[in-house]
């Protein structure tokens, strides 16, 4: 049987994503999907556009769904989903799946999860590459069995989602891929439910999750609110929010076209990174933190970030409520302990991503250091680093040195430029940050920021970053930082840089 298994990663290479059928029609339908996903209206992305052919719509979406599952699984493959850890392909103890494709394997066999999934991906690619099943160019006829083939593909891709949710969800959370996984699955399920493509019995392993998703969608539509990006948030929260005295956060659309960053940053990464990863921080603040710590509602984002790890004066009763010993009598955490880590991760994450997307990025090739950086910034860069090339060398080394996930920064500290790094979603503004300063340039080196295009080759992503820096925005941040922390904190990082307004 081993000869049948063509694994996704051989010699360090990765499966490539599949292209939609060539021609203007396939591209138009794919762009329609990406555009509606980019607005957050996932339910609009699944409906058959007026005047379009159903089979063509099924074909394009099947390719999109395969690519999404393919990329998600490749993050887990080799390191997290192995034959030792996952000796059986399952979606929980009650649901095990045997492999058979009717051609190479006619009798169903038990396989480990990675063997099963890689056989499945090989089989799907064979279907997508076969012009007798999936036309490579629209305009021709589809075989009578086309809809049945699509149902079979989607049924089996659902099993991969089932395996990831049941066996690897904690690892997904640690990789900070939960928003991406949840939104991809939500898109997938909305489509299959819209066209009744998967039998209800096949959905049993994730029935509870799907039921919650459907309730949340119905609530979102009935209140005309944009659907939440995280499937597991409580649908009842909005009702409770109205009775509380705090303000919900929102995330606006980007002030530029996400396609403008090609080839340095691919369009899909821009869409996922802002509308899903960044929006997850907003949803967590609204759904998980404000209900527990409503006193944080309405505070500026910068105030939340700076409060992490700091203390404030408090009385004896407050100390007793918090269970604080006499050793720190008279001082309480600025943020209640049950919220502080969540605030650090989510307020910090939102602030970091807002700086990155709204102040530090510009379309590929639209700006360069010599013509767009202010003279003050250029003088400081030359004085500190010697030359732009020397700066790139030092900044690239710092970004590459971040172990695991985190950020590389250029900060202003006592009027001087410095390069520092922070882990996870920490930043130099946190009250307990190990590296202090006022950030003027930040680079996200989490894998979600580059994996779709650069896979695990962080160095290529870092090199491409220099082609998309908004030097005008960085110059404005530098000018504010030179005036001190008070002036710097007056800038609303969620408001795009002046050159975008």
Omega of the bond leading into 263 within 30 degrees of 0 (cis): yes
- The residues, any chain, with a CB within 8 Å of residue 28's CB and separated by 6 or more, are none
Read off the pLDDT of residues 109-147 as tens digits, 9 standing for 90 and up: 999 999 999 999 999 999 988 888 887 776 678 889 999
The mean pLDDT of 402-411, rounded to a whole number, is: 94
Yes or no: is domain 2-235 CATH 3.30.70.890? no
pLDDT at 462 exceeding the cut of 60 = yes
Residue 403's pLDDT is what? 92
pLDDT at 2 exceeding the cut of 60 = no
Distance CA 297, CA 301 (A): 10
The mean pLDDT of 242-263, rounded to a whole number, is: 75
Residue 374's pLDDT is what? 96
CB 112 within 8 Å of CB 88: yes
CB 134 within 8 Å of CB 21: yes
The mean pLDDT of 476-491, rounded to a whole number, is: 93
CB 60 within 8 Å of CB 30: yes
Read off the pLDDT of residues 282-315 as tens digits, 9 standing for 90 and up: 888 887 777 778 778 778 899 999 999 887 776 5
Residue 101's pLDDT is what? 87
> How do the domains of the chain map onto residue ranges?
2-235, 272-500
CB 432 within 8 Å of CB 310: yes
Give the number of other CB atoms < 10 A from CB of residue 401.
11
Helices (H), 296-414: 301-307, 316-322, 337-355, 369-372, 375-385, 388-401
CB 99 within 8 Å of CB 89: yes
pLDDT at 347 exceeding the cut of 80 = yes
Spell out the long-range contacts of 192-198 with Cβ–Cβ below 8 A and sequence spacing 24 or more: 192/154, 192/158, 194/46, 194/47, 195/58, 197/150, 197/151, 197/154, 197/155, 198/151, 198/154, 198/155, 198/158
% of the chain surpassing 90 pLDDT: 44
pLDDT at 224 exceeding the cut of 60 = no
Residue 334's pLDDT is what? 81
Question: 469 has which bridge partners?
Answer: 361
CATH of domain 272-500: 3.55.40.20
Read off the pLDDT of residues 381-394 as tens digits, 9 standing for 90 and up: 999 999 999 999 99
Residue 499's pLDDT is what? 87
Closest listed residue to residue 377, CA positions, set 471, 259, 241, 238:
471
The widest CA-to-CA distance across the chain, in whole angstroms, is 79
Read off the pLDDT of residues 134-188 as tens digits, 9 standing for 90 and up: 877 766 788 899 999 999 999 999 999 999 998 888 777 776 677 778 878 888 9
Instruction: State the number of CA atoms in the 13 A half-sphere of 278 facing the CB.
Output: 26
Residue 138's pLDDT is what? 65
Distance CA 302, CA 111 (A): 51
Residue 43's pLDDT is what? 63
Residue 187's pLDDT is what? 84
């Amino acid at each position: 049987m081993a000869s049948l298994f063509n694994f996704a990663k051989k010699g360090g290479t990765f499966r490539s994503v599949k292209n939609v059928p060539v021609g203007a029609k396939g591209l138009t339908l794919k762009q329609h999907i990406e555009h509606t996903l980019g607005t957050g209206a996932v339910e609009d992305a699944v409906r058959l556009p007026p005047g379009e052919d159903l089979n063509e719509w099924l074909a394009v979406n099947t390719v999109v769904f395969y690519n999404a599952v393919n990329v998600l699984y490749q993050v887990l493959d080799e390191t997290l989903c192995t034959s030792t850890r996952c000796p059986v392909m399952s979606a929980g103890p009650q649901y095990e799946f045997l492999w058979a494709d009717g051609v190479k394997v006619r009798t169903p066999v038990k396989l480990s999860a990675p063997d099963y999934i890689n056989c499945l991906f090989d089989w799907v690619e064979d279907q997508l590459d076969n012009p007798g099943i999936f036309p490579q160019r629209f305009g021709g006829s589809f075989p009578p069995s086309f809809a049945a083939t699509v149902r079979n593909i989607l049924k089996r891709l659902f099993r991969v989602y089932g395996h990831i949710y049941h066996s690897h969800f904690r690892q997904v959370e640690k990789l900070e891929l939960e928003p991406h996984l949840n939104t991809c699955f939500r898109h997938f399920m909305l489509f299959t439910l819209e066209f009744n493509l998967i039998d209800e019995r096949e959905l049993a392993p994730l029935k509870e999750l799907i039921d919650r998703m459907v309730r949340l969608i119905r609530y979102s539509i009935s209140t005309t609110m944009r659907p939440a990006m995280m499937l597991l948030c409580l649908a009842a929260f909005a009702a409770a929010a109205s009775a509380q005295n705090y303000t919900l956060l929102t995330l606006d659309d980007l002030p530029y076209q996400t396609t403008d960053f090609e080839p340095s940053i691919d369009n899909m990464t821009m869409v996922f990174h802002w509308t899903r990863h960044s929006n997850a921080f907003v949803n967590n603040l609204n759904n998980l933190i404000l209900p527990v710590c409503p006193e944080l509602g309405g505070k500026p984002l910068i105030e939340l970030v700076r409060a992490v790890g700091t203390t404030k004066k408090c009385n004896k009763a407050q100390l007793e409520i918090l269970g604080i010993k006499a050793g720190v009598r008279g001082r309480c955490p600025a943020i209640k302990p049950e919220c502080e880590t969540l605030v650090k991760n989510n307020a910090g994450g939102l602030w970091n991503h807002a700086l990155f997307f709204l102040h530090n990025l510009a379309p590929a090739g639209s700006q360069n250091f010599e013509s767009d950086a202010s003279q003050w910034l250029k003088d400081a860069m030359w004085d500190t680093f010697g030359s732009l090339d020397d700066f790139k060398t030092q900044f690239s080394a710092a970004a590459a040195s971040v172990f695991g996930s985190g950020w590389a920064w250029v900060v202003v500290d006592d009027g001087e430029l410095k390069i520092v790094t922070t882990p996870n979603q920490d930043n130099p503004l946190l009250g307990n940050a190990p590296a202090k300063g006022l950030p003027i340039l930040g680079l996200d080196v989490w894998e979600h920021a580059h994996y779709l295009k650069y896979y695990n080759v962080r160095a290529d992503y870092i090199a491409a970053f220099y082609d998309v820096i908004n030097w005008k925005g960085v110059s404005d941040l530098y000018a504010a930082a030179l005036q001190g922390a008070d002036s710097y904190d007056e800038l609303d990082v969620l408001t795009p840089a002046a050159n975008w307004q």
